[in-house]
Amino acid sequence: MTNTTVFWLDGRLVEAGPPLIRADDRAFLLGDGLFETIRVADGTPRHVDRHLQRLTEGAAFLDIPLPYTREVLTIAIERLIRATGTMDGTVRLTLSRGSGERGIGLPERPCPLLLMTIVPMKVDGHAPIALATARETRRNEHSPLGRLKSLNYLDSILARREASRRGADDALLLSTAGQVAEASVANVIVSFGGKLWTPPVSDGALPGIMRGILMETIGIMERSFRRDDLDAAEALFLCNSLAIRQVGSLDGRHLSQDPVRLGELREAGGFGQPVEG
């Protein structure tokens, strides 16, 4: 049986109990940190090198000292998987700048904190996703945070809330210039003109791990799309490290299904059953 009450916190495995995070931690107070979500399949973490590379680059950009090497973190992820008995699940790494004085000024001597948690995989089946274009929230393509897996996810939370209130499963986010950017927690793949495309990072798309893998393996190319362009799309898909799903409807309009293309994407991404990201 999976035991998800075990965590990895700053170099050691610990059992759930007293609060693990200090009240003055900047991740809790300010969202000052990063995270990575790693899929575990058959007891093996997938694409660990890519996730840790992105975490390393993000920490360097934010001037957060990464307290452990990638080798140490890789071993820690494996230890957590073994300790919890998780065969199919999700490991989340959360990196905080650590404790600090009140205010947004950077601490002179940061003491970063790194937490790893694990949960079993949630299987949602193969049902296509209902997508709604967010009207109240835009993705800021000019912000450097758009290229990081930062802890600041309120735009995605608000967009998902709006989509849910409109009876949809997820939200399509546009950039401030009106270009298609991404979904709330996934990159967008567009089947158009017999080819596969994805919005460029310059339009507000996160450089997702699975997005990069699919660009390398099956040659998905970058292209800018306006919202109206998607009405002529042959099919739409969403991808992240945990799932590749087909979009069944956009703003209430039914979209064509392409199970063959979906199968190709899942095979290239190494997926079986899709899960929520």
32: three-class secondary structure by DSSP? coil
The DSSP bridge pattern shows strands 235-240 and 221-222 to be: unpaired
pLDDT of residue 271: 87
Would you state the structure tokens that stand for residue 119, as one six-digit string? Answer: 């949960």
Q: How high is the pLDDT of residue 246? A: 96
Q: What is the pTM of this model?
A: 0.91
Specify the pLDDT at position 125. Answer: 57
Q: What per-residue confidence (pLDDT) applies to 120? A: 93
pLDDT at residue number 114: 95
Helices and strands (H, E) in the chain, number of each type? 6, 15
What was the pLDDT predicted at 17?
65
pLDDT in tens, the chain (277 residues): 566 678 788 888 888 766 677 888 899 999 999 999 999 999 999 999 999 999 999 999 999 999 999 999 999 999 999 999 999 999 999 999 998 888 888 888 889 999 999 999 876 556 899 999 999 999 999 999 999 999 999 999 999 999 999 999 999 999 999 999 999 999 999 999 999 999 999 999 999 999 999 999 999 999 999 999 999 999 999 999 999 999 999 999 999 999 999 999 999 999 854 433 3
pLDDT at 19: 63
Cα-to-chain-centroid distance, residue 191: 22
3-state secondary structure 77-113: HHHHHHHHCCCCEEEEEEEECEECCCCCCCCCCCECE
Helix, strand or coil for residue 52? helix
* Residue 275 confidence (pLDDT): 39
Name all domains of the chain by residue range, CATH numbers in brackets: 6-120 (3.30.470.10), 129-269 (3.20.10.10)
Count CA atoms closer than 13 A to 141's CA, side-chain side.
18
Residue 274 has what pLDDT?
Answer: 43
So what's the pLDDT on residue 11?
Answer: 84
Distance CA 98, CA 107 (A): 9
What is the pLDDT, as a whole number, of residue 68? 94
Alpha helices in the chain (DSSP H): 26-30, 48-62, 70-84, 154-165, 209-218, 259-269
Q: How high is the pLDDT of residue 277?
A: 34
